[in-house]
Amino acid sequence: MQYCGVRRHLTGDWSIELEGDYVFDRRRDAVEVRGQGRLIRASEWQTRCMDELDILGEFETRAAAGPSGSVREPGSAPGEFRFAYWRPEPETSDFRLEACTVRGGGYLQLEVWVPQADLGWARAVWRSVRFIA
């Protein structure tokens, strides 16, 4: 899926591409982005005690509880890795994609809640995340 949006600052070190009107609510430990019936929550984490593959392993362990799908792939820059999984949300028709983009001692955790028909959009938005620092 080709995705073309406007690049916007998500956190101090990360940006995301979004097309259309979205409201950014910056909280102490996360950024929530709302619009067009979608919710995105992003949290930036720094870690010095785990390397990139250990962080990915933690996310893969969470996904082992039965996701509908998952993907692990290289990131947009050398030394960057991505992992995502998605599953239906209980008692709703929405899906939740939980993803991480890992690089050099830190990572961005992204959660996206969308109707099932928008899962392709959620994966494209996750792949649009870029480290900008």
**Domain extent listing, the chain:** 6-131
Per-residue pLDDT tens over the stretch 99-126: 999 987 789 999 999 998 999 999 999 9
Q: Which CATH architecture has domain 6-131?
A: 3-Layer(aba) Sandwich (3.40)
Q: Give this prediction's pTM.
A: 0.89
Per-residue pLDDT tens over the stretch 16-65: 999 989 999 999 889 999 999 999 999 999 887 888 888 888 888 888 77
User: Exposure of 60 by Cβ count < 10 A (0-12 exposed, 13-18 middle, 19+ buried)?
Assistant: middle
The tally of CA atoms less than 13 A away on the side-chain side of residue 64 is 7
Alpha-carbon distance 133 to 100, whole Å? Answer: 17
Q: Look at the block and give the residue holding tokens 């916007």.
A: 8
